[in-house]
Structure 1
Amino acid sequence: MNKDKLKEIQNELPENVTLVAVSKMHTKEEIDEAHKLGCCIFGENKVQEMKDKYNPDYTWHMIGHLQRNKVKDVVPLASMIQSLDSYRLAQEIEKQCAKINKVMPVLIEVNISRDPGKTGVLLEEAPSFVKQCMRLEHLDVQGLMCVGPLTDDEDKIEGCFERMHALFIKLQNEYGEDKFKYLSMGMSDDYHIALRHGSNMVRLGSVIFGKRNYNK
């Protein structure tokens, strides 16, 4: 846990930007420490990790690819699903939320870099997909999410984030700022670029918690 860096980030983020602390592969103890230091929202990529670490006193976002057969496990725990990337997944979220009378805030994941290895709807498909999902009674579509391209080419990252912001503004104008609130864009390596392009929700993991140990 990099306490000084976390404090620096908290001080530099504009008031309108929501910080999601990505706790993937980090312990309950680290999450508790981050919460004491002011982190309120924690993002998990895997359903089992969210289940293992779940604390009802904290707010949890599902930010990783979500399989339909895992939706029933996530719906009772998550305050938001940021990675809605198909209508079949939307239908399953609707089905499981209806069972417990819950309306789930969701973000539509856009594959802004058109990377075949990433999930998300394509840019040109997003407007119709948003409209389709908004018809579902137990989904509350609150904005968009993307993962920036994995590259050192800052111009390429800028271009992706610029297109993402343009789409967000278009949809926000259509549905209203009170309804279409969030552009979740920017992670540890590129959040400064994302902020320059209108992101108001950043998902930060390693810059807060330190590098993950994938050999554990």
Structure 2
Amino acid sequence: MSIASNLRAVKVRIAEAAARSGRDPKDISLVAVSKGRSIDLIKEAAENGQLAFGENRAQELREKQGLLSADLEWHFVGHLQRNKVNMVVGKVKLIHSLDSEKLAEAVDRRARALGIVQEVLLQVNISEEETKHGVDREEIEGLLEKALAMDGLIIRGLMTIAPLVDDEEEARPYFRKLRELRDMLAENYPQADLNILSMGMTQDFEIAVEEGANMLRIGTAIFA
């Protein structure tokens, strides 16, 4: 299948999942995860209307941005090391993976040096897996409070990666937990704009939509 037909198929599945949960598919953003994908494939996706792309390596992001249209919207969706902050802050619309106070301080410092405000999501290790990055649920309020006091960044919501499971239905409780956590934080911190829920990948995005995701990070279903 072509990238054009893959994109159409993904959008149909998003619309069907939205309909099952009484949602408008127009409220759901699609980030095409282009890590490891060629410039030609990204161009093909862009020619078919996909303009938001996600990368998880700072060097690859920089190289691709230098070769592609400035009209594309870039997201950083991988673990961000503090020594790579200068390569990412100010270069992307949204960083999905803020997961510590030290990283928040580094992003804030770089953004203020550039005279910008960087949009970020707090990455939550909702499944409590030792192998996954993300702040623990018990520490999320402390990180949010620290980040809200920083002038160089703005928290837009939460991100998580569900466990890899045999049956996508098994991912549902984790997506539900993130939505419930977001709702609790939004109530407790009304000054925060936590409208984005970035959750759902190729193997589980329909379940994520049913549980409230409004930003999906999909790679294989588009590019494979």
Q: What TM-score, normalized to structure 1?
A: 0.92
What is the Cα deviation at residue 36 of structure 1? 1.2
Q: Decide whether aligned partners of structure 1 residues 114 and 28 sit closer, same or farther in structure 2, where only a CA change above 3 A counts.
A: same
Aligned twin of 1:45: 56
SS at match of 1:120: coil
1:170 counterpart = 2:181: no
Aligned twin of 2:119: 105
Q: Decide whether aligned partners of structure 1 residues 113 and 26 sit closer, same or farther in structure 2, where only a CA change above 3 A counts.
A: same
Cα distance in structure 1, aligned partners of 2:115 and 2:33:
28
Q: Aligned pair count?
A: 210
- Does the CA-based 8 Å contact 2:155-2:192 persist in structure 1? no
SS at match of 1:131: helix
Aligned twin of 2:6: 5
**Among 23, 42, 54, the residue aligned to 1:31:** 42
SS at match of 2:92: coil
Give me the CA root mean square deviation: 1.6
**Among 184, 193, 203, the residue aligned to 2:207:** 193
1:87 counterpart = 2:98: no
- Does the CA-based 8 Å contact 2:117-2:153 persist in structure 1? yes
Q: Which amino acid aligns with 2:49?
A: G
What is the Cα deviation at residue 177 of structure 1? 9.6
Cα distance in structure 2, aligned partners of 1:208 and 1:176:
36
- Does the CA-based 8 Å contact 2:10-2:221 persist in structure 1? no
**Among 137, 162, 168, the residue aligned to 1:123:** 137
SS at match of 2:26: coil
What is the Cα deviation at residue 104 of structure 1? 0.3
Cα distance in structure 1, aligned partners of 2:101 and 2:32:
27
1:135 counterpart = 2:149: yes
* Identical-pair percentage: 38
Moved more, 65-74 or 153-162: 153-162
Unaligned runs of 5+ in 2: 16-24
CA deviations on 1:102-158 (whole Å, 9 max, x unpaired) are: 100000000011110110001222122112111110111000000010111445311
CA deviations on 1:190-213 (whole Å, 9 max, x unpaired) are: 001101110000000000001xxx
Cα distance in structure 1, aligned partners of 2:216 and 2:140:
20
- Does the CA-based 8 Å contact 2:179-2:197 persist in structure 1? yes
Cα distance in structure 2, aligned partners of 1:177 and 1:166:
18
CA deviations on 1:41-67 (whole Å, 9 max, x unpaired) are: 100011111001014221101000010
Cα distance in structure 2, aligned partners of 1:117 and 1:102:
33
Cα distance in structure 2, aligned partners of 1:187 and 1:177:
29
Q: Which amino acid aligns with 1:6?
A: L
Unaligned runs of 5+ in 1: 211-216
Q: Which amino acid aligns with 1:149?
A: P
- Does the CA-based 8 Å contact 2:3-2:45 persist in structure 1? no
